[in-house]
């Protein structure tokens, strides 16, 4: 029990810190904010339930007024802003990513990539677009084109999630609670 | 750690957090039920005036917190100029600004400790579905403490990397940072267990 509380807190902090780190610049100059990388890692490393709890804990810190969202945003304002769909989608994305790694017995890197893709793109994007649509008074069809801007970065992040999760599985098999 | 609470004491700081959250909920519902740009403009002016009660510094702080919205407003403006529904565009933009500004005002004028106390009271019913508030409070406190620890570890690894390589560290330091942090989390878990556990 103690271990699961400290791991959930640790991964909430990881999501926060990856948002504070200036965007990683990839070869080719594609800027990537690493926050959603942290969200996907919560799921693939901690598993569905604990991963979602870690992301909820992170959102709790943001709501309480800590400037932990990428770009130093935070407070209650972000929950009525245009990006609210992504915020609500984050814990669900982590849950889905974790569920895939827990249930699919493929090699851990493959399962993590599939989980991160399903959670961080297939599940998160519609919710994010729905948030934009509601907050900006448009239809989902009208705003979905803007999602394409995120796609290259997020595909790279799916690859990174797979690499990091596999590395953790090899170096500390016991730390991968999703396969524990 | 830095919070978004204004360091300058304002009259709003003395209002109980619960009352402010309730008022905020009311204002937000009201804003989302209004569709007339003139009324929404008046609402935004009113919220700006509330900021001024706390002084010019609070207003500036509030404006800084609204800044990340500009790309959305720019797209919105361009969109509505193109479709010709300028009135709707104003209503949507003003509503967005007013709702976010009102929520930010509550965040800026409520200390973290007051907010946590209020959240604990609100979370009390969760105990019945198996989420003890004490464990939530412990996890929050641990996460707040882990953030600077994690940031320091990443910074140290990045420095060690740049000392040896002309290239940027990038994502390669995430794995070693996580390994170290996981060891920390295990030690904290042991320490918690040694002191009687989480409950």
Question: Per-residue pLDDT tens for B19-37?
Answer: 999 999 999 999 988 889 9
- Predicted ipTM of the assembly: 0.88
The pLDDT score that the predictor gives to residue A28 is 42
Instruction: Please write the tens of the pLDDT for every residue from A2-33.
Output: 888 999 999 999 999 988 766 555 444 444 56
Of B88, B95, B103, B110, the C-alpha closest to B13 is: B110
Report in angstroms the alpha-carbon separations of B32 from A83, B37, B124: 16, 12, 29
Instruction: Please write the tens of the pLDDT for every residue from B54-67.
Output: 888 899 989 988 88
Distance CA A94, CA B104 (A): 27
**H or E element at residue A42:** helix A35-46
Of A156, A174, A147, A144, the C-alpha closest to A32 is: A156
Q: Does B120 touch chain A if contact means CB atoms closer than 8 Å?
A: no
Q: Does B168 touch chain A if contact means CB atoms closer than 8 Å?
A: yes
Asked whether the beta carbons of residue A138 and residue B79 sit closer than 8 angstroms, the reply is: yes
Asked whether the beta carbons of residue A10 and residue B150 sit closer than 8 angstroms, the reply is: yes
Tokens, residue B95? 């509503």
Instruction: Nearest by CB to A65, from B5, B69, B138: name it.
Output: B5
Instruction: Please write the tens of the pLDDT for every residue from A146-155.
Output: 888 888 889 9
Please report where in the chains the tokens 């940027």 appear, as a residue: B168
> Is the pLDDT confidence value at A144 over 90?
no
Distance CA B98, CA B29 (A): 12
Residues of B within 8 A of A71 (CB-CB) are: 68
The pLDDT score that the predictor gives to residue A44 is 95
Among chain A residues, the shortest Cα distance to B102 is held by A77
Mean pLDDT of A156-161: 93
Distance CA B150, CA B159 (A): 14
Residues of chain B with pLDDT under 50: none
Q: Does B123 touch chain A if contact means CB atoms closer than 8 Å?
A: no
> Is the pLDDT confidence value at A111 over 90?
yes
């Amino acid at each position: 029990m103690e271990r699961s509380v400290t791991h959930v807190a640790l991964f909430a902090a990881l999501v926060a810190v990856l948002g504070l780190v200036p965007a990683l610049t990839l070869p080719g100059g594609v800027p990537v904010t690493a926050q959603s990388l942290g969200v996907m890692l919560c799921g693939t490393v901690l598993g569905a339930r604990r991963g979602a709890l870690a992301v909820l804990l992170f959102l709790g810190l943001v709501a309480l007024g800590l400037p932990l969202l990428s770009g130093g945003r935070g407070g209650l304002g972000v929950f009525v802003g245009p990006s609210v769909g992504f915020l609500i989608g984050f814990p669900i994305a982590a849950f889905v990513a974790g569920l895939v790694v827990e249930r699919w017995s493929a090699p851990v890197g493959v399962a993590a990539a599939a989980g991160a893709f399903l959670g961080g793109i297939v599940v998160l994007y519609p919710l994010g677009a729905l948030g934009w649509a509601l907050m900006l008074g448009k239809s989902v069809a009208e705003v979905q084109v803007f999602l394409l801007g995120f796609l290259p970065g997020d595909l790279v992040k799916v690859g990174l999630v797979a690499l990091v999760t596999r590395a953790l599985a090899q170096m500390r098999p016991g730390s991968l609670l999703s396969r524990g | 750690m830095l919070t978004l609470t204004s360091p300058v004491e304002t009259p709003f700081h003395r209002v109980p957090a619960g009352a402010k959250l309730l008022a905020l909920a009311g204002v937000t519902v009201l804003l989302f039920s209004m569709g007339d740009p003139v009324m929404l403009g008046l609402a935004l002016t009113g919220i700006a005036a509330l900021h001024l009660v706390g002084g010019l510094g609070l207003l500036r702080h509030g404006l800084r917190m609204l800044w990340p919205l500009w790309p959305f407003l720019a797209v919105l403006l361009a969109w509505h100029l193109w479709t010709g529904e300028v009135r709707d565009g104003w209503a949507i933009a003003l509503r967005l600004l007013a709702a976010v500004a009102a929520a930010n005002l509550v965040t800026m004028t409520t200390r973290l400790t007051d907010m946590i106390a209020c959240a604990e009271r609100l979370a009390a019913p969760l105990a019945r579905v198996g989420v003890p508030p004490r464990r939530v409070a412990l996890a929050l406190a641990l996460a707040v403490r882990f953030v600077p620890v994690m940031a320091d570890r990443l910074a140290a690894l990045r420095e060690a990397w740049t000392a040896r390589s002309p290239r940027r560290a990038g994502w390669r330091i995430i794995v070693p940072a996580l390994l170290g942090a996981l060891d920390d989390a295990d030690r904290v878990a042991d320490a918690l267990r040694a002191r009687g556990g989480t409950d």
